[in-house]
Amino acid sequence: MDKPKYLDKSLSFKERAADLVSKMTLEEKASQLRYDAQPVERLGIPRYNWWNEALHGVARAGVATVFPQAIGMAAMFDDEFLEKIADVIATEGRAKYNESAKKGDRDIYKGITFWSPNVNIFRDPRWGRGHETYGEDPYLTSRLGVAFVKGLQGDGKYLKTAACAKHYAVHSGPEDDRHFFDAIVSQKDLYETYLPAFEALVKEAKVESIMGAYNRTNGEPCNGSKTLLKDILRDGWGFDGHVVSDCWAIKDFHEGHGVTKTPTESVALALKSGCDLNCGNMYLLILLALKEGLITEEDIDRAAIRLMTTRMKLGMFDDDCEFDNIPYELNDSAEHNKISLEAAKKSMVLLKNDGLLPLDSKKIKNVAVIGPNADSSLALRANYSGTPSQNVTIIEGIRKRVSENTRVWYAMGSHLFLNRDEDLAQPDDRLKEAVSAAERSDVVVLCLGLDASVEGEQNDQGTVILDAGGDKADLNLPESQRNLLNAVLATGKPTIVALLSGSALSIGDAADKAAAIVQCWYPGAIGGLAFAEMIFGDYSPAGRLPVTFYKSTEELPPFADYSMENRTYKFMKGDALYPFGFGLSYTSFEYSNMVCPQTVNNGENLSVSVDVQNTGSVDSDEVVQVYIKDMDASVRVPKYSLCGFKRIHLKSGEKKTVTFEVASNAMSIVDEAGKRHIENGEFTLYAGGSQPDKVSESLSGKKPLEASFNVK
């Protein structure tokens, strides 16, 4: 008997998928359009659950290597290393999938279609899910997102795993309103800020999947938006993969947004607009929508073929996919955990150092490690995480690193957000113990911040605790931690503040009174060791902020206002507490000899180089940043924009020439109609270890180099 066409490897994946779908009954086709796709045993199609997560490691399916949360990986400013991390995640995903499939375990979170990365723009520091993103800058987000997708998907005949760019589009809070909220955005802001990362992931990284956001954008629900899904995604960018709804988002069409009257109308709007896969249960009504004449069988076929094409690309119907042999032994391996530790080291951002750091472990006899995040494993893991086989919290890292003659004093000091730790106690019941520990120490490490129980997705990880749906009301530390901070600083002991959080915090007096401040993010399972090795000088920190740390929310527009006016480093009017792109080091760098042509033809890229020398006594990484400013624009443009970055390593005294190819796109403007083009005129480039703002200059003592050129 002849082999069916869908098993013929000489045909394209799409041709094979179309043949396979043509052999299915109507009911079988409809059953493939749900995240929990049903088996069709007569055609050799096993059950498959599409829902899996890999934001910073394979998530929610048991043990896996847990890397720093996405915002921490963004702080590395290292797209090449991020691609390596994503490749490791894909390896572990395949290892776990192969083992699960052998055991007949095809449950949720056991597949190889990963609903990551999140490339929404972190436009407002109050957004609880911001730590799932790569920060506030469209260029940085694009470069990191492309790297992550390439790492997940690989570059072979088959996809190693399938990545998904989410949440398309214009989604960044408020969390509690997302099921009925309409994100009103100008065409200029849409194309200048909110869409570039999605476009880059589609065009450059060939991302296999797109997930629609819960909200409406300019009146259309994102999972049923002709503008987003057809006009821009398919017709404009040539997207050729499949679209998945966010979970239970399609029922919001009639229940929250009120754009449809019945569930079957919602199903029809989503399917006809190009939403192929339903995370949720609305597509159980596909056949009823067909019976009511709201959709056609061709609509069902189109979606089923797209989904089966993805499964074909993953090698699910072939016996020679090179990834089928990845063994379970590679999951959570020592090598992968070493990479996680390296990522945590690269993500640490030193915000302040009055000379206390690095510490000399031989001279310290007593160290107090205090705070609700000192021994917190949740503050290591963040949300959307796997289960670490080991947790190295901050205090555990310090215990591993100090000499055996050093006493490590521990005190929780306060609850993370409640005013007491024990139910029957008085407020601040852990405070005096913390003061006692601090008084006995040579140095205090004060571990403050948040965790995934108080900032994150609506209803995820129990984020309803603070009644803000996972968002923050303001940038302040919880009152219990503010009391602890003030009490410890009042002892006069040299204090290192370690902030474990996924977003900007305003830390009040600590900015002036603490000897050192380190932004640790949620640093992954071994993050405590990375922190300890940094404060004891085993390596020099070089992480940079991928978001602006504002002084307060009072200077920001209303949370629900999606205009970019007065948001992010590009458009903010005031001075930052700590600027985007900022981070200190244990050494010093000298920039010189910036070389840039004086003119460039309109539409051509520009090559620029700069010499960087480590002029200090410590070997260190440095993040070289290039920003561009349009001096002659006819419309509102950013103050300046990041257009290049490279993380390099320089030994003490070493000098390197770093070359950047500035894309012509960096010279473009977006007009009020959302059209992008390049105007002739003068531009200024800045190259240095930070953005060219006065706060970065004041904090670092360095001013970036400048060069001008003309576009003709």
- Can you read off the two tokens belonging to residue 537? 């000088």
Residue in 309, 17, 14 with CA at minimum distance from that of residue 6: 17
Rounded to an integer, what distance in angstroms lies between the CA atom of residue 372 and that of residue 451?
Answer: 10
Domains, in order of start, for the chain: 5-330 (3.20.20.300), 348-547 (3.40.50.1700), 589-711 (2.60.40.10)
- Residue 609 contacts residue 658 (beta carbons within 8 Å): yes
Question: Would you call 324 a catalytic residue per the annotation?
Answer: no
pLDDT on residue 374: 98
b/e for 581-609, b at 16 or more Cβ within 10 A? bbbbbbbbbebeebebeeebeeeeebebe
Q: Count of H helices and E strands in the chain?
A: 20, 24
Nearest-Å Rg of the Cα atoms of the chain is 26
User: What CA–CA distance (Å, rounded) separates 389 from 604?
Assistant: 50
pTM above 0.95, yes or no: yes
Give me the amino acid identity at 584. Answer: L
Q: Which of 83, 177, 199, 246 is catalytic?
A: 246
Phi, psi values for residue 648, rounded to 5°? -125, 160
Residue 487 — φ and ψ, nearest 5°? -65, -40
- The three-state secondary structure class of 531 is helix
pLDDT score recorded for residue 508: 80
CA-CA distance, 121 to 137, in Å (whole number)?
7
Beta strand segments in 147-214, E? 164-168, 182-183, 209-212
pLDDT < 70 positions in the chain? 1, 460-468
Q: Is 246 a catalytic residue?
A: yes
Q: What is the pLDDT of residue 458?
A: 84
Residue 86: partners with Cβ closer than 8 Å, 6 or more residues away: 147, 148, 149, 150, 151, 152
How high is the pLDDT of residue 464?
44
Dist. CA 202–CA 149, nearest whole Å: 10
Q: Which of 87, 220, 455, 457 is catalytic?
A: 455
pLDDT digits (tens, 9 = 90+) for 276-335: 999 999 999 999 999 999 999 999 999 999 999 999 999 999 999 999 999 999 999 999
Spell out the residues 6+ positions from residue 376 whose beta carbon is closer than 8 angstroms to its own: 393, 416, 447, 451, 500
Q: Distance between CA atoms of 524 and 510, rounded to whole angstroms?
A: 25
pLDDT digits (tens, 9 = 90+) for 618-677: 999 999 999 999 999 999 999 999 999 999 999 999 999 999 999 999 999 999 999 999
Half-sphere exposure of 96 (CA within 13 A, CB side): 32
